[in-house]
C-alpha cells in the first residue's frame, strides 16, 4: 500500500511539473493573449511556437498554409491529396 501511495505521489508530481503555471506568450487572431498553460520550453504553446512544424502546401490564395502537422515535410488533412 505504501508503494502505491509513493507511485501515485510521483505521478502527480510529474503531471504538475509538465504544465507551466504561466500562460503562452502568443496571441490569438483577435489579438488577445493565449490562455494555454501547456507551454513548451520556448514559452509558447504548440500552436504558437515558431518551432512547431507547419504544412508546406500553398493555399488557394497562394499563401503558405499555417496548419500544424506532426513532422517537417508533412501536409495537413486539407492538402494531403494534392
Query: 36-40: long-range contacts at Cβ-Cβ below 8 A with a sequence spacing of 24 or more?
Result: none
pLDDT in the model for residue 77:
92
- Judge if 56 and 77 occupy the same domain: yes
- Judge if 56 and 81 occupy the same domain: yes
> Measured between alpha carbons, how far is 50 from 12 in angstroms, rounded to an integer?
30
pLDDT in the model for residue 52:
93
Q: Is the pTM of this model over 0.75?
A: no
- Judge if 44 and 57 occupy the same domain: no
Q: Within 13 A of 16's CA, how many CA atoms are on the CB side?
A: 6
Tell me if 5 is assigned to some domain. no
Tell me if 30 is assigned to some domain. yes
For 33-73, how does the pLDDT look when each residue is reduced to its tens digit (9 = 90+)? 999 988 999 999 999 999 999 999 999 999 999 999 999 99
DSSP 9: H
- Judge if 56 and 46 occupy the same domain: no
> Measured between alpha carbons, how far is 65 from 42 in angstroms, rounded to an integer?
23
**For the chain, how many structural domains are there in total?**
2
Which residues constitute the domain of residue 61? 52-82
Tell me if 11 is assigned to some domain. no
- Judge if 23 and 46 occupy the same domain: yes
Q: Is residue 76 a contact partner of residue 57, using CB atoms and an 8 Å limit?
A: yes
- Judge if 46 and 56 occupy the same domain: no
Amino acid at each position: 500500500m505504501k508503494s502505491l501511495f509513493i507511485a501515485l505521489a510521483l505521478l502527480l508530481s510529474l503531471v504538475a511539473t509538465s504544465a507551466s503555471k504561466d500562460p503562452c506568450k502568443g496571441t490569438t487572431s483577435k489579438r488577445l493573449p493565449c490562455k494555454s498553460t501547456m507551454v513548451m520550453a520556448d514559452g509558447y504553446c504548440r500552436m504558437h511556437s515558431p518551432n512547431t512544424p507547419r504544412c508546406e502546401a500553398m493555399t488557394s490564395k497562394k499563401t503558405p498554409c499555417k496548419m500544424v502537422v506532426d513532422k517537417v515535410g508533412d501536409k495537413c488533412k486539407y492538402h494531403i491529396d494534392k
